[in-house]
Amino acid sequence: MTNNDAYQPKPSHKFSFGLWTLGNRGRDPFGDFVRPVISPVEIANMLGEVGAWGVNLHDNDLVPIDATPAERDAIVREFKKACAENKLVVPMATVSLFFHPIFRDGAFTANDAEVRAYALQKTMRAMDLGAELGAKIFVLWGGREGVETDACRRADDAVKRLREAVNYLCEYNLDQKYGFKFALEAKPNEPRADIYMATTGHYLGFIPTLDHPEMVGVNPEVAHEQMAGLNFMHGVAQAWEAGKLFHIDLNDQMPGRYDQDLRFGSANFKSAFWLVKFLEDVNYEGPRHFDAHAYRTEDFCGVKDFARGCMRTYLILKEKAAGWNADKEIRAILQEISAGSNSPPIGRYSKKGAAALLAHVFNKDAICKKRLPYERLDQLTVDLLAGLR
């Protein structure tokens, strides 16, 4: 990987990584850690070295769950210094409501009211921390908000508890004048057998039922929607169209597997292309956050390769997207397939329009003869991605 080619990250690209991504030690259900612990300061230094713009964190990625206030303040001071030295911003903060055993039955949706209250307290403190670090986006991923058996609670009670918690946190946000935008992150399963709000679509249906829907959006993750067998870019496009794409978790995922959190674009290059094309076509201005980690085989040089690869692939696909939009043959086909027809103008309903539509005679045979050269269009896309155009 040359260090002076066109695919070098710049702050304007807004590439960010969570402390937990470069800090991932490679443990999995069948194997122990393969990499030593590295501190948040060392991770900040690594991110500065690879050219990232931002660093994100769960509360306990930085501050141990039982740290004293004095210990917390010292840790935050040291981390702020490391961020400044590496020219890193903290665009997003979040809270771990899944790692500690207290959350074994969920956090906001747990049956024990004391656990639900503790989850709120922990989240408020994580918001305090995020605000102190300058974050303006607060992600909530309900990794434990689910079940192994639906015998444990009625699923609509879980929705009610989740709504109560998010409404409460929106009020805290207003009270504290933090100005957070909440980004809700979906996932269909793992660690729970079934997680409530399994996809971004579920959250898009949930948000309008909140007291402050304008304060809440979504944080779609590639792997999570693909685990549900969905077209990730479509979910992102619907969130964007609804004005709810507040953040995005970029990574990759092979079909039918557990959550792999692979390097961006490493498994589904073409779907990553359609995603990057969409984000660039609509001028998405949010962070490009890589919620991913290196293969278990990697040492810390490999972890840096992983981080560089996420950003490099995004920039390669960004350049490919510009090439696609400028390609003469592609443009000609797009022109052809969207050429006007003699269809009556529809637009908003009107009595007059409806009468015209009802009176219109459609020549179905002629319509069926209209060419849709998608094979050629897709092959041109493949050629372009293969570097042949």
How far apart, in Å, are the Cα atoms of 6 and each of 245, 276, 279, 315, 319? 28, 17, 20, 8, 9
| Alpha carbons 219 and 251: distance in angstroms, whole number | 13
φ/ψ of 194, rounded to 5, equals -135, 130
Q: From the list 221, 225, 252, 305, which residue makes contact with Mn ion (rule: CB under 5 A)? A: 221
Q: Which is nearer to ligand DIG, 8 or 271 (CB)?
A: 271
CB of 102 to ligand DIG, least distance (A): 17
Strand partners for 184: 140, 218
**Residue ranges in 286-345 that form contacts with ligand DIG under rule CB under 6 A:** 291
Q: Is 384 exposed, middle or buried (0-12, 13-18, 19+ CB in 10 A)?
A: middle
Total of residues contacting Mn ion (CB under 5 A): 6
Selected binder of ligand DIG within 61, 249, 252, 305 (CB under 6 A): 249
CB of 320 to ligand DIG, least distance (A): 26
* Residue 261 engages Mn ion in binding (rule: CB under 5 A): yes
* Interaction partner, residue 240 (Mn ion, ligand DIG, none; CB < 5-8 Å by kind): none
Q: CB burial class (10 A; 0-12, 13-18, 19+) of residue 205? A: exposed
**One of 139, 169, 186, 272 touching ligand DIG (CB under 6 A):** 139
In Å, how far are 341, 347, 348, 358 from 354, measured between CA atoms?
18, 10, 10, 6
Number of CB atoms found within 10 A of residue 262's CB: 22
SS3 181: strand
Check whether the bond before 191 is cis (ω within 30° of 0): yes
Nearest C-alpha neighbor of 216 from the set 253, 255, 189, 242: 242
Query: Which segment (11-19, 252-260, 294-302, 366-374) binds Mn ion by CB under 5 A?
Result: 252-260
Smallest distance from ligand DIG to CB 291, Å: 4
Comparing CB distances to ligand DIG, the nearer of 141 and 273 is 141
Q: Considering only residues 280-319, where is the footprint of Mn ion by CB under 5 A?
A: 291
- CB 90, min distance to ligand DIG, A: 13
CB of 382 to ligand DIG, least distance (A): 30
Q: How many degrees, rounded to 5, is the angle at CA 19 between CA 18 and CA 25? A: 115
Is 252 an interacting residue with respect to Mn ion (CB under 5 A)?
no
Nearest-angstrom CA–CA distance, 43 and 118 = 29
**Between 219 and 266, whose beta carbon lies closer to ligand DIG?**
219
CB of 59 vs ligand DIG, minimal distance in Å: 10
Give the residues across from 288 on adjacent strands.
Answer: 15
Q: Which is nearer to ligand DIG, 56 or 268 (CB)?
A: 56
Query: For ligand DIG, what does the binding mask look like between residues 60 and 99, x meaning CB under 6 A?
Result: ----------------------------------x-----
Nearer to ligand DIG, 252 or 291 (CB): 291
Asked whether position 249 contacts Mn ion by CB under 5 A, the answer is yes
Give the containing element (helix H, strand E) for 217.
strand 216-218
The single residue among 59, 61, 105, 221 that binds ligand DIG, judged by CB under 6 A, is: 221
# residues contacting ligand DIG (CB under 6 A): 11
Query: What's the closest the beta carbon of residue 381 comes to ligand DIG, in angstroms?
Result: 29
Which residue numbers are catalytic?
Answer: 58, 61
Selection from Mn ion, ligand DIG, none that 305 binds (CB < 5 to 8 A by kind) is none
Burial environment of residue 350 by CB neighbours within 10 A (0 to 12, 13 to 18, 19 or more): exposed
Across the strands, what pairs with 183? 139, 217
CA distance 81 to 39: 14
The answer to whether 266 contacts ligand DIG (rule: CB under 6 A) is: no
Q: Is residue 185 a contact residue for ligand DIG (CB under 6 A)? A: yes
* Total residue count of the chain as it appears in this document: 389
Binding site for ligand DIG (CB under 6 A): 18, 20, 58, 94, 139, 141, 185, 219, 221, 249, 291
Binding site for Mn ion (CB under 5 A): 221, 223, 249, 259, 261, 291
